[in-house]
């Protein structure tokens, strides 16, 4: 991968990169199209597909994470992807099971709340693998989805802190017609859970309406959001947070432009979503 990337750079071609864990959907493909627009027709668009073990806790869904490489290839081909980087665990983490892999990248500030609090080992895995993928693919520009807002902010910080000469783009969340954010994990939902999963989007919209004309307290808005989510019997809130979208600093009051993120279990499936209110 590195040798190919170096030779494309020698030819003066820009490399656009979309890192994924596969089971691609139109949300991913809109990131691919964004990467293509940025590198131009002579540029190279690379998608990586790697279900990264270090970002899953032992209790999480690593072994049952959905996979369909054939379909992923077809989608990539249809959208003009130039190359798929499909590394194995042995390539990414040689000797990890035998304790012979020991270098990790950890961001230590932006990862304390939200996903970082609910999934304490998650971001160390994400920053480690993204740093490694950047070293393999050597992109000029990398595109991440806004659905994982905290992840995008963390990666942007890592890129600055570790001097990666890479432009980080955060592209809008793809949504189903009823507002549910596209996610590979939606495949886990039963029909009833899928129906009720729109509660995340409804909660974001209700919060947006609540702050459209006035500033409200975090406690008051969080209570209203939790009440709305409780109307979906299959839903259980993990967190609801209000914060500054750039710094991730918790909001004192919620007003137009404050960012809201939430994580909600639908049955056993944990979904996340966010929006600038
Ligand atoms: O967002 C994802 O799919 C993953 O966290 C990423 C960025 C591909 C790293 O494994």
- 269 Cα–ligand 1 center, Å: 18
21 touches ligand 1 (CB under 6 Å)? yes
Can you tell me which atom of ligand 1 is nearest the CA of 148?
Answer: 1
Instruction: List alpha helices for the chain, DSSP H.
Output: 2-10, 26-39, 69-78, 89-92, 115-118, 122-137, 149-161, 191-196, 199-212, 218-229
Record the pTM.
0.98
As a whole number of angstroms, the distance between CA 205 and CA 62 comes to: 32
The reply to whether ligand 1 has any atom less than 6 angstroms from the CB of 22 is: no
pLDDT confidence of residue 43: 98
Atom of ligand 1 nearest to the CA of 145: 1
Q: Which member of 28, 122, 135, 259 is catalytic?
A: 28
Structure confidence by residue, pLDDT tens digits, 146-172 = 999 999 999 999 999 999 999 999 999
Looking at residue 213, its pLDDT comes to 93
Rg (CA), the chain: 19
**Catalytic residue status for 135:** no
Ligand 1 atom 9, closest CA: 126
- pLDDT for the residue numbered 97: 92
Topology adopted by domain 2-171: Rossmann fold (3.40.50)
Given this model, what pLDDT does residue 149 score?
98
* Three-state SS at 145: strand
For the domain covering 184-276, report its CATH number.
3.30.1300.10
> Tell me, what's the pLDDT at 2?
98
- The pLDDT score that the predictor gives to residue 207 is 98
Cβ 52 under 6 angstroms from ligand 1: yes
For the chain, the structural domain boundaries read: 2-171, 184-276
- Distance in angstroms between the alpha carbons of the first and the last residue of the chain: 41
Encode pLDDT of 39-63 as tens digits: 999 999 999 999 999 999 999 999 9
Tell whether ligand 1 has an atom less than 6 A from the beta carbon of residue 148.
yes
With cut-offs at 50, 70 and 90, classify the pLDDT of residue 16.
very high
pLDDT in tens, 194-216: 999 999 999 999 999 999 999 99
Per-residue confidence (pLDDT) for residue 220, from 0 to 100: 97
Closest CA to 92 of 183, 166, 21: 21
Residue nearest ligand 1's atom 3 by CA? 20
Task: With beta carbons less than 8 A apart as the criterion, state whether 192 and 234 touch.
Answer: yes
What pLDDT is stored for residue 250 in this prediction? 98
Mean pLDDT of 169-187: 98
Most ligand 1 atoms within 8 A of CB, residue of 136, 151, 186 to mutate: 151
Q: How far is the CA of 236 from the centre of ligand 1 (A)?
A: 24
**Residue 129 Cβ contacting ligand 1 at under 6 Å:** yes
Of 126, 135, 156, the one to substitute when testing ligand 1's pocket (max ligand atoms within 8 A of C-beta) is 126
Instruction: Determine which residue's CA is closest to atom 5 belonging to ligand 1.
Output: 126
What pLDDT, on the 0 to 100 scale, is given for residue 41? 98
Q: Closest Cα to atom 2, ligand 1: which residue?
A: 20
Q: Are 97 and 54 in contact (CB under 8 A)?
A: no
pLDDT at 147: 98
What pLDDT is attached to residue 186? 98
Write out the DSSP string of 188-252. Answer: G--HHHHHHTTHHHHHHHHHHHHHHSS-EEHHHHHHHHHHHHTTSTTEEEEEEEEE-TTT-PBPS
pLDDT number for residue 34:
98
């Amino acid at each position: 991968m590195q040798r190919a990337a170096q030779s494309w750079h020698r030819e003066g071609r820009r490399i656009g990169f979309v890192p994924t864990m596969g089971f691609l959907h139109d949300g991913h493909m809109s990131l691919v199209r964004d990467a293509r627009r940025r590198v131009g027709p002579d540029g190279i668009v690379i998608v990586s597909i790697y279900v990264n073990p270090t970002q899953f806790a032992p209790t999480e869904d690593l072994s049952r994470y959905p996979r369909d490489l054939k379909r992923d290839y077809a989608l990539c081909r249809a959208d003009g992807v130039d190359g798929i980087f499909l590394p194995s665990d042995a390539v990414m983490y040689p000797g990890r099971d035998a304790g012979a892999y020991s270098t990790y990248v950890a961001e230590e500030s932006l990862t304390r709340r939200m996903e970082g609090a609910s999934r304490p080992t998650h971001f160390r895995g994400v920053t480690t693998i993204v740093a490694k993928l950047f070293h393999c693919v050597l992109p000029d520009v990398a595109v991440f989805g806004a659905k994982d807002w905290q992840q995008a902010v963390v990666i942007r910080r890592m890129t600055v802190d570790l001097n990666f000469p890479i432009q980080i783009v955060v592209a809008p969340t793809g949504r189903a017609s009823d507002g549910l954010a596209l996610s590979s994990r939606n495949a886990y939902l039963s029909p009833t859970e899928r129906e009720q999963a729109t509660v995340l989007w409804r909660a974001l919209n209700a919060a947006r309406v609540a702050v459209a004309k006035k500033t409200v307290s975090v406690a008051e808005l969080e209570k209203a959001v939790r009440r709305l989510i409780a109307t979906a019997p299959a839903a259980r809130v993990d967190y609801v947070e209000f914060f500054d979208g750039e710094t991730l600093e918790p909001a004192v009051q919620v007003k137009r432009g404050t960012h809201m993120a939430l994580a909600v279990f639908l049955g056993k499936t944990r979904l996340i979503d966010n929006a600038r209110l």
